[in-house]
Amino acid sequence: MFALLKKEIGSFLSSLIGYVVILVFLLSIGLFIWVFSTEYNVLDNGYTNFDSLFYIAPMFYLFLIPAITMRSFAEEKNKGTIELLFTRPLSDLQIILAKYFAGILLVLFSLIPTLVYYFCIKSLAKPPVDIDTGGMWGSYIGLLFLGGAFVAIGILASAITDNQIISFIIALFLCGFFFIGFDYVASFSLFGKVDNIIQLLGIKAHYLSMSRGVIDTRDLTYFISLIVFFIFCTKTTLQSRKW
């Protein structure tokens, strides 16, 4: 399983597109935080906190993570190596988890450089102020769980088709729907008090709770359940080849 995980990471980073995707992600966030005149611009608004990153990163993750995961199974199917992959002395679940954790590590690689923004904001503050470091790490945990949920969705999208572009589109749609779709449905107030429950079915409410630096077991349970659900769906999709 570790060998397959290493192969997946190496495969992504050995191609130019892997570096381009991560670079575009980091550059885009940097532009919104430092250059573009938006509500997230630290210099224009005089912010001495790091919240801007956690507000805008999910929007870029909607594109970054489907780009990371679209190759997972779609490329194997397209090249005809999917059957060879499943002849390895690994269970279907182990293969899925290897690809899943490879995706998580790549998401982590994209997050680590953003710590530079934290040190820049801290050094620019006048007079020197202490940023809520504990809250910041809590927000990073929330962003990592969000990435984990998106990777699980992306893996399923890649297992459905043998076309990487279609995989990307399906993952983009599903990630977008689970992030803001339930909020959109709840905003119509069609179901009365049930609207709040519908909203809680979406990712956004739980992510915003964690992005404040508050680690609630209900939010953790939600993310873990969502990840397990999509991994199970991926396993079922791949096993359908035997039917």
Residue-level pLDDT at 172 = 95
pLDDT of 194 above 60: yes
Per-residue CA distances from 137 to 64, 156, 234 (Å): 21, 29, 31
Q: Cα separation of 22 and 8, whole Å? A: 16
* DSSP letter, residue 189: -
Number of C-beta neighbours around residue 5 at 10 A: 19
H/E stretch holding 9? helix 2-13
Token pair for residue 138? Answer: 């809590």
Average pLDDT over residues 178-200: 79
Residue-level pLDDT at 16 = 76
**What's the structural domain count of the chain?**
1
Average pLDDT over residues 172-199: 83
Per-residue CA distances from 233 to 149, 227, 243 (Å): 13, 10, 15
Residue-level pLDDT at 235 = 93
pLDDT of 230 above 80: yes
Region of poorest pLDDT, from 15-19, 100-104, 112-116, 136-140? 15-19
Region of poorest pLDDT, from 51-55, 62-66, 103-107, 159-163? 51-55
Highest mean pLDDT among 89-93, 124-128, 137-141, 147-151: 147-151
Region of poorest pLDDT, from 34-43, 50-59, 168-177? 34-43
Query: Tokens 């202490």, residue?
Result: 130
pLDDT of 242 above 60: no
Q: Hey, CA dihedral for 172, 175, 180, 181, is it positive or negative?
A: positive
pLDDT of 243 above 60: no
Collect all residues with Cβ–Cβ distance below 8 Å to 226 and sequence separation of at least 6: 149, 152, 178, 203
Domain residues for the domain of 226 are 2-242
Share of the chain above pLDDT 90, in %: 33
Share of the chain above pLDDT 70, in %: 90
